[in-house]
Each structure stands twice: as C-alpha cells, then as structure tokens.
C-alpha cells in the first residue's frame, strides 16, 4: 500500500480547520500576541464555540465560567492554547475505525484524549520543552487508523490472524499491508500542513529512535501504552501491553513512576469520558 493509493481517502477525511493549523504554527512564535491568536480563532465561529465548550469542561480545571477565548487564554496561559485548540477540533476529526479496527464511536478520540492527559502527567515528572507539541501528538497519534479503516475492514483477515498469533500490532499492520497506521498518520498530517515536529512525532510514535526528536516520540509511545494497559480505546488492538525497560531508561523513569502515572490517569477517566462523549458528533 502506497501514499498515492491512500490520497483519495485522505481527501474524504474531516481535517482540522485551517485556522486551527495556523494557530498551532503560530502559538510558539514570540512575535505572536494573544490578540493575534484570539483573532484567528474568532474567524471560525464553530471553532470559537468549540474552544469555549472545552474551556468550560472539567478537564481544563478552570473554576470560573469562560465566556471568551481571550478569557480562556488569560486563565490558561498562551501555551495552553494549543491544548484548547487541538482538543476542540479533534472530536470531529477522530471519527472512524469502527469497521476495520473494531472501535466504538468515541474510541479514537477517547484514546487520544486519555494519552494527551497522560502526557501532562508525564510532563509533570520530566522537563518537557514543548508540552503543547507532546499533547497534540498524543491526541492525534492514531489518525492513520481513519485512513486505513476501509482497507482493514475489507482485507484485514491476514492482520487479525497475525494478531491472534500475538504479533505486535504495528508489525502486523506492516506485514499485512506494507505500512502501519503511524506512517499513514504522518502522511495524513503532512498533507494537512501540520508543523514538522508534530508530523515526526505521529509518524514515529511506535519507533521513537527513528524520529529527529526521539524524546517527544518516546513520551507519545509511553502515553499510548499507559492507555492500552488500561484498555482505553483499544478496539482490535487488544493485546496485553507493558512498558519496555529501554523506554523507561531512555526517559529516565522507573516502573514505580509508571504505576503512579497509571493511577493518576485512572482518576481522570470520568472527565475524559465526559468530554469525549460530548465532543464526538453522533
């Protein structure tokens, strides 16, 4: 399976709004003001409304009612705007995977959102240079499954047979189709003009050592595994998982850290479920 074969499918997938992509590219530039960012968001009334919905959700942890994007930015901070934007948009984009990957309607968004929340917990233990990038990569890590879903549904017998033999899921995809969902996700992200570091993190989250910045991809891989270990949005990818020792060593974490992170993530699941259910259109 090649990128050219998948391009017609890419054209049918609900992308992130152009305004959202522009904000993601602008938020870390020093010459970008809060007014600039808020002005970009206000150009898209649906995005503006979605941002306010997310800002007022329990997941964001704000005690006050937010009635404007400017107010949200003031309370959350400029860098947290990345989290607000990407969470507000992803519910519409992360729909699919039900036919081939055996996912329920909210599963892709729920898994991505849980991984994104896990990334914030990891960031609390590590010195993460760009937590917004890691959050976005965690949330969008499985967008390739949307593009591959029809192929998996129609020609997935070999994939599921490999999984029954306990072949790791990404490897089973590569053996069955010649490509895995992470690579396809990177192609899709690139076609939507995502920033290069975000494309890299999505592409290599199962093989962080191949990324230009392995640390970001390693954190995404860890957060993905934390969710899979708790059965969050697994679908067909339902094998038993554990965090490999080399990944912990590379990140400077311990097995005790993983246990603590898993417990902390479990306490956030109710908030995650509520926002995932509300954000994904029926």
Query: Which 8-state DSSP code applies to residue 166?
Result: T
Residue of higher predicted confidence among 274 and 159 = 274
pLDDT score of 142: 93
Say what the pTM is: 0.89
> Whole-angstrom Cα distance, residue 12 to residue 8?
7
> Of 234, 241, 239, 242, which is closest to residue 166 (Cα–Cα)?
239
> Of 108, 117, 124, which is closest to residue 13 (Cα–Cα)?
108
> Whole-angstrom Cα distance, residue 161 to residue 197?
34
Q: pLDDT tier at 137 (50, 70, 90 boundaries)?
A: very high
Give pLDDT tens digits for 209-241: 999 999 999 999 999 999 998 888 776 565 557
> Whole-angstrom Cα distance, residue 51 to residue 178?
38
Residue of higher predicted confidence among 15 and 209 = 209
Above 80 in pLDDT, residue 45?
yes
pLDDT score of 132: 84
Residue of higher predicted confidence among 8 and 167 = 8
Task: Report CA Rg, the chain.
Answer: 18
pLDDT score of 95: 80
Give pLDDT tens digits for 246-255: 999 999 999 9
pLDDT score of 135: 92
Q: pLDDT tier at 1 (50, 70, 90 boundaries)?
A: confident
Q: pLDDT tier at 92 (50, 70, 90 boundaries)?
A: confident
pLDDT score of 99: 72
- Which of 6-10, 31-35, 75-79 holds the top average pLDDT? 6-10
Residue 275 backbone phi and psi in degrees, to 5: -70, -40
For 6, the token pair is 């998948």
For 235, the token pair is 């679908």
Give pLDDT tens digits for 172-208: 888 888 899 999 999 999 999 998 999 999 999 999 9
For 59, the token pair is 């997941």
Average pLDDT, the chain: 85
Above 70 in pLDDT, residue 108?
yes
pLDDT score of 30: 67
Q: Quick one: angle between helices 80-93 and 131-140, nearest 10? A: 10
């Amino acid at each position: 399976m090649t990128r050219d074969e998948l391009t017609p499918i890419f054209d049918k997938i609900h992308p992130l709004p152009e305004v959202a992509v522009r904000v993601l590219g602008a938020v870390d530039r020093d010459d970008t003001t809060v007014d600039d960012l808020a002005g970009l968001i206000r150009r898209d009334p649906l995005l503006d409304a979605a941002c306010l919905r997310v800002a007022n959700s329990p997941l964001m942890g704000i005690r006050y009612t937010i009635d404007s994007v400017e107010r949200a930015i003031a309370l959350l901070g400029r860098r947290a705007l990345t989290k607000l934007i990407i969470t507000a948009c992803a519910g519409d984009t992360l729909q699919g995977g039900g036919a081939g990957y055996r996912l329920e309607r909210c599963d892709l968004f729920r898994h991505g959102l849980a991984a994104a929340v896990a990334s914030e917990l990891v960031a609390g233990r590590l010195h993460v240079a760009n937590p917004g990038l890691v959050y976005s990569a965690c949330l969008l890590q499985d967008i390739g499954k949307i593009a591959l879903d029809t192929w998996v549904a129609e020609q997935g017998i070999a994939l599921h047979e490999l999984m029954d033999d306990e072949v790791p899921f990404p490897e089973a995809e590569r053996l069955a189709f010649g490509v895995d969902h992470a690579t396809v996700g990177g192609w899709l992200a690139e076609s939507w003009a995502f920033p290069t570091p975000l494309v890299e993190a999505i592409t290599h989250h199962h093989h962080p050592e191949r990324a230009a910045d392995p640390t970001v991809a390693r954190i995404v891989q860890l957060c993905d595994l934390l969710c899979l270990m708790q059965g969050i949005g697994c679908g067909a990818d339902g094998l038993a998982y554990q965090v490999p020792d080399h990944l912990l060593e590379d990140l400077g974490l311990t097995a005790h850290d993983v246990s603590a992170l898993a417990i902390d993530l479990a306490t956030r699941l109710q908030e995650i479920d509520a926002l995932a259910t509300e954000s994904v259109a029926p």
